[in-house]
Amino acid sequence: MSVLAEGVCPVSDHLLGRLYRASPEGLPVLLRTVPPATRAALAYYCSRRVHLESIGLAIASTCDERDLYEHAGLAGLALFAKARAEPTNAGTDRHIVRRGNVSLASGALWNPSRSLD
Protein backbone atom coordinates (compact mmCIF):
# COMPACT_ATOMS: atom_id res chain seq x y z
CA MET A 1 0.00 0.00 0.00
CA SER A 2 1.31 3.45 -0.86
CA VAL A 3 -0.95 6.14 0.60
CA LEU A 4 0.38 9.53 -0.39
CA ALA A 5 1.05 12.24 2.15
CA GLU A 6 -2.20 13.98 3.04
CA GLY A 7 -1.46 17.22 1.19
CA VAL A 8 0.28 15.88 -1.91
CA CYS A 9 -1.77 15.85 -5.10
CA PRO A 10 -0.64 13.08 -7.48
CA VAL A 11 -1.17 15.24 -10.59
CA SER A 12 -0.26 18.80 -11.52
CA ASP A 13 -2.48 21.68 -10.44
CA HIS A 14 -3.13 22.33 -14.13
CA LEU A 15 -4.48 18.82 -14.75
CA LEU A 16 -6.51 18.87 -11.53
CA GLY A 17 -8.09 22.15 -12.63
CA ARG A 18 -8.90 20.72 -16.06
CA LEU A 19 -10.53 17.68 -14.45
CA TYR A 20 -12.52 19.88 -12.09
CA ARG A 21 -13.82 22.07 -14.92
CA ALA A 22 -14.43 19.20 -17.36
CA SER A 23 -17.86 18.62 -18.78
CA PRO A 24 -19.51 15.24 -18.22
CA GLU A 25 -18.45 14.28 -21.74
CA GLY A 26 -14.90 15.58 -21.36
CA LEU A 27 -14.04 13.98 -18.02
CA PRO A 28 -13.74 10.40 -19.33
CA VAL A 29 -11.51 11.65 -22.16
CA LEU A 30 -9.18 13.40 -19.72
CA LEU A 31 -9.15 10.41 -17.37
CA ARG A 32 -7.93 8.15 -20.17
CA THR A 33 -4.72 10.22 -20.24
CA VAL A 34 -4.02 9.42 -16.57
CA PRO A 35 -2.31 6.06 -15.82
CA PRO A 36 -4.42 3.67 -13.68
CA ALA A 37 -2.17 3.87 -10.60
CA THR A 38 -2.14 7.67 -10.69
CA ARG A 39 -5.90 7.72 -11.27
CA ALA A 40 -6.43 5.62 -8.12
CA ALA A 41 -4.21 7.94 -6.09
CA LEU A 42 -6.07 10.95 -7.50
CA ALA A 43 -9.47 9.43 -6.68
CA TYR A 44 -8.37 8.94 -3.07
CA TYR A 45 -6.86 12.44 -2.88
CA CYS A 46 -10.05 14.08 -4.20
CA SER A 47 -12.40 11.97 -2.11
CA ARG A 48 -10.79 13.28 1.08
CA ARG A 49 -11.59 16.91 0.25
CA VAL A 50 -15.15 18.15 0.55
CA HIS A 51 -15.05 20.38 -2.53
CA LEU A 52 -13.55 17.56 -4.65
CA GLU A 53 -15.41 14.58 -3.19
CA SER A 54 -17.88 14.18 -6.05
CA ILE A 55 -15.12 14.24 -8.68
CA GLY A 56 -13.18 11.77 -6.53
CA LEU A 57 -16.12 9.39 -6.70
CA ALA A 58 -16.37 9.89 -10.46
CA ILE A 59 -12.67 9.10 -10.82
CA ALA A 60 -12.93 6.12 -8.47
CA SER A 61 -15.72 4.70 -10.62
CA THR A 62 -13.15 4.35 -13.41
CA CYS A 63 -10.59 2.57 -11.21
CA ASP A 64 -9.96 -1.10 -10.53
CA GLU A 65 -10.59 -2.24 -6.97
CA ARG A 66 -7.02 -3.52 -6.73
CA ASP A 67 -5.51 -0.16 -7.72
CA LEU A 68 -7.57 1.66 -5.10
CA TYR A 69 -6.58 -0.89 -2.47
CA GLU A 70 -2.89 -0.59 -3.36
CA HIS A 71 -3.01 3.19 -2.96
CA ALA A 72 -5.33 3.60 0.01
CA GLY A 73 -5.79 0.23 1.71
CA LEU A 74 -9.16 -0.32 3.34
CA ALA A 75 -10.11 3.29 2.61
CA GLY A 76 -9.57 2.50 -1.07
CA LEU A 77 -11.90 -0.50 -0.83
CA ALA A 78 -14.52 1.69 0.85
CA LEU A 79 -14.08 4.31 -1.88
CA PHE A 80 -14.50 1.64 -4.56
CA ALA A 81 -17.73 0.42 -2.94
CA LYS A 82 -19.08 3.95 -2.51
CA ALA A 83 -18.28 4.86 -6.12
CA ARG A 84 -20.14 1.79 -7.35
CA ALA A 85 -23.12 2.41 -5.03
CA GLU A 86 -23.67 6.06 -6.01
CA PRO A 87 -26.65 6.51 -8.32
CA THR A 88 -25.64 8.08 -11.58
CA ASN A 89 -27.36 9.42 -14.64
CA ALA A 90 -24.53 9.05 -17.10
CA GLY A 91 -21.39 7.69 -15.49
CA THR A 92 -18.99 10.46 -14.58
CA ASP A 93 -21.43 13.38 -14.74
CA ARG A 94 -22.07 13.14 -11.00
CA HIS A 95 -18.93 15.17 -10.36
CA ILE A 96 -20.69 18.33 -11.43
CA VAL A 97 -21.45 20.23 -8.27
CA ARG A 98 -24.73 22.10 -8.17
CA ARG A 99 -23.82 25.36 -6.52
CA GLY A 100 -26.39 27.34 -4.57
CA ASN A 101 -27.53 30.80 -5.53
CA VAL A 102 -25.35 33.71 -4.50
CA SER A 103 -27.07 36.30 -2.33
CA LEU A 104 -25.80 39.84 -2.16
CA ALA A 105 -25.68 41.97 0.95
CA SER A 106 -28.85 43.91 1.72
CA GLY A 107 -30.35 45.82 4.58
CA ALA A 108 -28.28 47.84 7.02
CA LEU A 109 -24.96 46.65 5.63
CA TRP A 110 -25.72 47.62 2.06
CA ASN A 111 -26.83 51.12 1.28
CA PRO A 112 -25.42 52.43 -2.02
CA SER A 113 -27.06 55.83 -1.58
CA ARG A 114 -25.16 56.50 1.64
CA SER A 115 -21.90 58.32 0.98
CA LEU A 116 -18.69 57.44 2.75
CA ASP A 117 -17.26 60.68 4.13
- What is the value of pTM for the model shown? 0.69
Q: What percent of the chain has pLDDT over 90?
A: 51
Ramachandran angles phi, psi of 18, nearest 5°: -65, -40
Q: What is the mean pLDDT of the chain?
A: 79
Each residue's pLDDT tens digit, 18-59: 988 988 888 889 999 999 999 999 999 999 999 899 999 999
User: pLDDT tier at 76 (50, 70, 90 boundaries)?
Assistant: very high
**SS3 category, 76:** helix
Q: What is the C-alpha to C-alpha distance for residues 44 and 53, in angstroms, rounded to an integer?
A: 9
Q: What is the C-alpha to C-alpha distance for residues 81 and 104, in angstroms, rounded to an integer?
A: 40
Domain residue spans of the chain:
13-97
pLDDT at residue 104 tops 70: no
pLDDT at residue 4 tops 90: no
User: Residue 27: CB partners within 8 Å, gap ≥ 6?
Assistant: 19, 55, 58, 92, 93, 95
